Chain A
Amino acid sequence: MSETQLMLDTAERIFADHCDKALLDAAETGAFPRELWKVIAESGLPLLATPEIGGSLTDAFRLLRVAGRHAVPVPLAEALIANHLMGLGNCAPRASTVTLGIADSYSGEGAEVSVSLSSVPWARSVDQVCYVIGDPVEIILLDVADCDVTPGANIAGEARDRVSFLGVPDRCGSSETITVETVFELMALSRCALMSGALERCLELSCDYAMERKQFGRELAKFQAIQHQLAVMACEVAAAGRATDAAIGCLGESRFVAMVASAKSRVGEAAGVVAEIAHQVHGAMGYTHEHRLHHFTRRLLAWRDEYGRETYWQQRLGRDAIAGGADATWAFIVGR
């Protein structure tokens, strides 16, 4: 068994053991799952994409797909990318817990800056917030203790906090291999990976339910109308997974931006279709808070909006596709 597979199996086990309905419900009311976060940190998973571990970004995105299957309610994507960035910037290793944000307003002269970041996952519960700024990029770490944090949440009840900082930040390193844009693209891909996992889970839950639940004296799965709905769902889930893998496969290549644009748009579309069908198949049962389906469907609806919704990426992709003229449209699609 490959090392990657071993790591993914370990992760699957940790997530499955911890992420039950009670933990997800508690996290969605704002209770940070410290015990789970501790286990994840001790397993070394958040450091998967740092040079010290020797892992790769590819593995980090594969891990996020598994995390998506379990709706893992911790800022794992942010920690993975923040640690990756700190690795790129040769920052001194830290034992602290970290999340990541995108600076949406920034001003400053000399050492002192004023910065604010919106929708930062779990800023209220971790030690530090990482962001990048400038060209070449500087990798900045803010101590949460020095920040003004306003708690917020997305429609899945996931902590998305507003962070403001005024002072002299810790410029922990810089990198010429990435740009501020690259970080946005990596985070968009993280949402694709999380969604791919959640989509697979929705399909499994829906198929299982259709085979269990009986109406008119037979299982829902025996009705052709239901079979066709689930087939449509399977098509969307497969497309999303493949689009995500294709983008992961282009990490570090010139084609990466186009592949992320394509993936975020395609996966976001699949998220809407799959969430709708999953609820239709589950009927009123799946509409209750008591059922676990909504932990996955609400995340799909939230994640498709994070780091550029479909329209944003479609416009970018469309403009790039058009740029070469009609007769080069095909060359753009195949990347050659």
Chain B
Amino acid sequence: MQALKFDDIALPPEAEALRGEVRAFIERAMPQDTLPDSDFNQGHDPAFSKALAEQGWIGMTWPTRYGGGGRTFFERYVVTEELLAAGAPVSAHWIADRQSGPLLLRYGTEAQRERFVPAIARGECFFSIGMSEPDSGSDLASVRTRAERRGEGYVVNGTKVWTTDAQRNHFIIALVRTSQTSENRHAGLSQLIIDLKGPGVTVRPIRNLAGDEDFNEVVFENCFVGADMLVGSEGNGWEQVTSELGYERSGPERFLSAFRVLVEFVRAVGPDPDDHVAAVVGRLVSHLMTLRAMSISVAGMLQQGQNPALEAALVKALGNDFEKSVPEILRVAAPHLEEGSRFRATLAQTLLHAPSFTLRGGTREILRGVIARGLGLR
């Protein structure tokens, strides 16, 4: 059994020093015409992302020579949690900042780094994740999108699906099969950067149950991709996609998605609610404080250059179940749902998005499998 390691780490003073600045920025830059939503997938606002980049808050941990901020994971942590807690529209740059940039910095060619990373940090270049396919959800290794070598590049055929913001973003990093399936299912996979607006790519929005068009189907038909858009080495795709899980799974976006519902609940119940209502708030706050402490521990491990994939899976499993429970708990705890109140509107919005919380980025069941492996059970 691998020991579960959550070091007792608190945010250092230089990270805390940023908090006031971030709050002041949010106060200034937050759009006033939409309901704040703490879900990182909600609110695609290039102007907001651009303004955030001007503060130096995209690509914060990246080297300065690629336009990054050269700052710590703790500083990035403060910025991201403040944005989510306020319900700021962060969806446009979120994926590029969280994982595409780090992926390119780690595995990309020098030319790719120079072309994409500074543009991401300027808030001008947005990425989507190209992993899931119609027949490959949790079973990611079964992807069938093919990239066949031709001349100076690849010809890509296949379909990606549930691709958030593909209709709005610039690029997708697609996990594709560059050689036929062998005994080792994880072999023969590669990652390609593909221009979402380029020839051979068709993006069709898919309406979700909330009536929104956040995710898409992305179809590649004889789409030519230059060899210079291969990320890392051919056949190394599986290692590459799994290497970033520590970043992808442990952040505050994994437990704060429903946070605005709690804020509006507190507004709705007023300053002196009954004991039961106070206890409901206290319980959710205790979960949030604990998840936050766990998530900061993982940020500390990332800062030390460790690969906390197991701890990240734990934070995500616990965090997703928690954030999903928040609207359910507050719904029944609310004495009445006043027509037209902010609480009612936020609750409705979050309830409709909640099914995705335990699906995206690794389902609850996949995460439990990862944890069981860490425990030595499989």
Partner-B contacts on A (CB < 8 A): 203-204, 207, 210-211, 221-222, 224, 226-228, 230-232, 234-235, 237-239, 241-243, 245-246, 248-249, 258-259, 261-263, 265-266, 269, 310-311, 313-319, 321-323, 325-327, 329-330, 332-334, 336
A-B pairs, 3 with minimum CB distance: A318-B282, A314-B282, A326-B267
CB–CB B6/A241 < 8 A:
yes
Name which of B128-136, B226-234, B367-375 contacts chain A: B367-375
Given contacts A259-B289, A314-B282, contact A336 B377 (CB under 8 A): no
Residue of A nearest to B373 (CB): A227
Would A313 and B282 count as touching, CB distance under 8 A?
yes
- Chain A residues contacting B377 (CB-CB under 8 Å) are 207, 210-211, 221-222, 226-227, 230
B356: CB under 8 A from chain A? no
Q: Which one of A241, A316, A322, A334 contacts B271 once the chains associate, using CB atoms below 8 Å?
A: A322
Contacts of A248 in B (CB 8 A): 8
Indicate whether A333 sits within 8 Å of B283 (C-beta atoms), given known contacts A232-B368, A234-B314, A234-B371.
no
Per the bound structure, the CA–CA distance linking A210 and B1 in Å amounts to: 12
Q: If the complex has contacts A204-B1, A265-B283, are A314 and B278 also in contact, measured as CB distance less than 8 A? A: yes
In the bound complex, what is the Cα–Cα distance between A207 and B269 (angstroms)? Answer: 44
**A residues near B290, Cβ cutoff 8 Å:** 239, 242-243, 246, 262-263, 266
- Given A238-B6, A238-B294, A243-B293, the answer on whether A227 and B282 have CB atoms closer than 8 Å is no
In the bound complex, do residue B281 and residue A322 qualify as a contact, i.e. CB atoms below 8 Å apart? yes
The answer on a CB contact under 8 Å between A228 and B365 is: yes
Q: Is the CB of A315 within 8 A of B288?
A: no
Query: What are 23 of the A-B contact pairs (CB < 8 Å)?
Result: A211-B377, A221-B378, A226-B377, A227-B377, A228-B368, A230-B372, A230-B377, A231-B368, A235-B317, A238-B318, A243-B293, A245-B6, A246-B8, A246-B293, A262-B285, A263-B286, A265-B286, A315-B279, A315-B282, A321-B285, A322-B281, A323-B271, A326-B263
Residue of B262, B279, B283, B286 touching A243 (CB-CB under 8 A): B286
Is B283 within 8 A of A249, CB to CB?
no
Given known A211-B376, A314-B283, contact A235–B314 (CB-CB < 8 A): yes
- Within the assembled complex, what's the spacing in Å between the Cα atoms of A221 and B369? 12
**B365: nearest chain-A partner, CB-CB:** A228
Query: Chain A at the B interface: mostly helix, strand, loop or mixed?
Result: helix
Report yes or no: B279 in contact with A314, Cβ–Cβ below 8 A. Answer: yes
Q: Are A230 and B8 in contact, CB atoms less than 8 angstroms apart?
A: no
Q: Are B285 and A245 in contact (CB under 8 A)?
A: no
Smallest distance from the beta carbon of B265 to chain A beta carbons, Å? 8
How far, in whole Å, are A334 and B277 apart by their CA atoms in the complex?
A: 21
Report whether A325 and B314 are in contact in the complex, using a CB–CB cutoff of 8 Å: no
A242 touches B6 (CB 8 A): yes
Known: A329-B262, A334-B81. A238 touches B280 (CB 8 A): no
| Chain B count of residues within 8 A CB distance of the other chain | 53
- Answer whether residue B344 sits at the interface, using C-beta atoms and an 8 A cutoff: no
With a 10 A CB-CB cut-off, give which of B271, B273, B318, B377 has the most chain A CB atoms: B377
Partner of B1, one of A207, A222, A262: A207
B314 smallest CB distance to A (angstroms): 6
B318–A239 contact, CB under 8 A? yes
Which of B264, B281, B292 is the one whose CB lies under 8 Å from A318?
B281
Q: Which residue of B lies closest to A318 (CB)?
A: B282
A325 touching B285 by the CB < 8 A rule? no
Closest to A310 in B: B283
| B137 smallest CB distance to A (angstroms) | 17
Tell me, yes or no, whether B16 is within 8 Å of chain A by CB. yes
- Given A204-B1, A230-B377, A238-B294, A321 and B282 contact (CB-CB distance below 8 Å): yes
Within 8 A of A (CB), among B251-308: 259, 262-264, 266-267, 269, 271, 273, 275, 277-283, 285-294, 297
CA distance A334 to B259 in the complex (A): 13
Bound CA span A231–B376, Å: 11
Q: Check if A317 sits within 8 Å of B286, measured CB to CB.
A: yes
Which residues of chain B come closer than 8 Å to A227, judged between CB atoms?
A: 368-369, 372, 377-378
Please determine whether A319 and B371 come into contact, CB atoms closer than 8 angstroms.
no
Q: How far is the CA of A330 from the CA of B372 in the complex (A)?
A: 33
- CB within 8 A of A336: which of B16, B264, B280? B16
Q: Which B residues lie within 8 Å of A222 (CB)? A: 377-378
Residues on B with C-beta less than 8 A from A325 are 266-267, 271
Given A314-B278, A322-B273, also A234-B285 (CB < 8 A):
no
A239 with B294: CB separation less than 8 A: yes
A269 to chain B, nearest CB (A): 8
B291: which A residues are within 8 A, CB to CB? 239
Bound form: Cα–Cα A135–B292 in Å:
36
- With most chain A CB atoms within 10 A of its CB, the pick from B266, B285, B311, B367 is B285
**With A204-B1, A207-B376 in contact, is A321–B266 under 8 Å at CB?**
yes
Asked whether B156 is an interface residue with its Cβ less than 8 Å from the other chain, the reply is no
B288–chain A nearest beta-carbon distance, Å: 5
Give the distance in Å from the alpha carbon of A258 to the alpha carbon of B294 in the complex. 17
Give the residue of B8, B271, B285, B368 whose beta carbon is less than 8 angstroms from that of A332.
B285
Additional A-B contact list (5), CB under 8 Å, known A239-B290, A242-B6, A334-B19: A204-B1, A234-B314, A269-B283, A311-B279, A313-B286
Chain B hits for A330, CB < 8 A: 85-86, 259, 263
Flag whether B4 is at the interface (Cβ < 8 A): yes
B10 within 8 A of A: yes
Q: How far is the CA of A227 from the CA of B1 in the complex (A)?
A: 13
B3: min CB distance to chain A, Å = 9
A52 to chain B, nearest CB (A): 26
Beta-carbon contact of B294 and A242 below 8 Å: yes
When distances are taken between beta carbons in the complex, the residues of chain B under 8 Å from A207 are: 1, 375-377
CA–CA, A187 and B81, complex, Å: 32
The smallest beta-carbon distance between B219 and chain A, in angstroms, is 34
* A211 contact set on B, CB distance < 8 A: 376-377
